[in-house]
């Protein structure tokens, strides 16, 4: 696990699995953990990371309901989990899905965990909207398309965008179950102005980006999605895993065109 300071009030944590990111933001006497690393030892040290930074933990936020973004509850049992209303609805419609997906991952990779995942108290946040933190506010922006739910978090005073599974330098756009190409494109267009003004963009997977690099990836992703099902993979994202995601995207777009 790698911890990088992006701003005096923002830390980015990168998991050893899938380069999954977790962002910690502080203001005044409050501190939120957004998304999560994956491995048990990474989750175990999260409270220590906050302690060393001198920040008092206040709560959890998750950009969307995919299981690999929900695991911070294992590090902070009993904490409230703030999510977009769309994510709260998805979690309610899919009870136990995240825990089952986590168990499947652990079985495949021989990972032992002391406790199962339980999401506990979920707080639905209005998106678009704001979330108070200390003497400041986080801006919450809709971010569906990868899945049916989601939000991006804009930390205005740090010029930092936490965008969930968008704008990744290591993963092409992935239209998952419940997602859509049109929704994905709409999210990228909504985020464009924030990306252009950002000092830091934190994707759900991969290293932190500056605004120039993130804008370039955004343009690549728009061009890729617009060209589906006949799109070429972006030059820097053409490995076997990305080809598998591409094949899934092609089938999903073709299926959406078939008569019901």
Average pLDDT over residues 154-161: 98
Calculate ∠ Cα 189-195-196, nearest 5°: 100
Structure confidence at residue 121 (pLDDT): 87
**At 82, is the secondary structure helix, strand, or coil?**
strand
Beta-carbon contacts of residue 165 (< 8 Å; ≥ 6 apart): 63, 64, 66, 146, 147, 150, 171, 174, 203, 204, 205
Average pLDDT over residues 15-38: 96
CA dist 70 and 62 (Å) reads 6
Residue 1 — pLDDT band, cuts 50, 70, 90?
A: confident
Fold (topology level) of 2-257: Metallo-beta-lactamase; Chain A (3.60.15)
The pTM of this model reads 0.94
In angstroms, the Cα distances linking 111 to 16, 37, 226 are 13, 14, 39
**At 142, is the secondary structure helix, strand, or coil?**
strand
């Amino acid at each position: 696990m790698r911890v990088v300071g992006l701003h005096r009030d923002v830390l980015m944590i990168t998991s050893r699995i899938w380069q999954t990111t977790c962002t910690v933001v502080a203001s005044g006497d409050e501190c939120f953990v957004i998304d999560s690393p994956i491995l048990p030892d990474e989750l175990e040290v999260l409270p220590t990371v906050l302690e060393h930074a001198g920040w008092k933990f206040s709560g959890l936020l998750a950009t969307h309901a995919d299981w690999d973004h929900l695991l911070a509850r294992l590090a902070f049992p009993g904490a409230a989990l703030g999510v977009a209303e769309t994510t709260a609805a998805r979690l309610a419609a899919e009870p136990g899905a995240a825990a089952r997906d986590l168990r499947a991952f652990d079985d495949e990779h021989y990972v032992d965990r002391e406790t199962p995942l339980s999401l506990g108290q979920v707080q639905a946040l209005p998106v678009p909207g704001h979330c108070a933190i200390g003497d400041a506010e986080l801006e919450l922006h809709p971010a569906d398309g990868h899945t049916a739910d989601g939000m991006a978090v804009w930390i205005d005073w740090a010029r930092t965008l936490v965008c969930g599974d968008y704008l990744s330098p290591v993963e092409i756009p992935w239209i998952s179950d419940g997602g859509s190409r049109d929704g994905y494109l709409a999210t990228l267009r909504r985020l464009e102005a924030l990306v252009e003004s950002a000092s830091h963009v934190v994707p759900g997977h991969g290293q932190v980006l500056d605004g120039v690099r993130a804008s370039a990836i955004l343009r690549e992703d728009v061009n890729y999605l617009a060209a589906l099902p006949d799109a070429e993979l972006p030059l820097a994202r053409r490995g076997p895993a990305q080809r598998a995601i591409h094949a899934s995207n092609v089938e999903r777009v073709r299926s959406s065109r078939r008569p019901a």
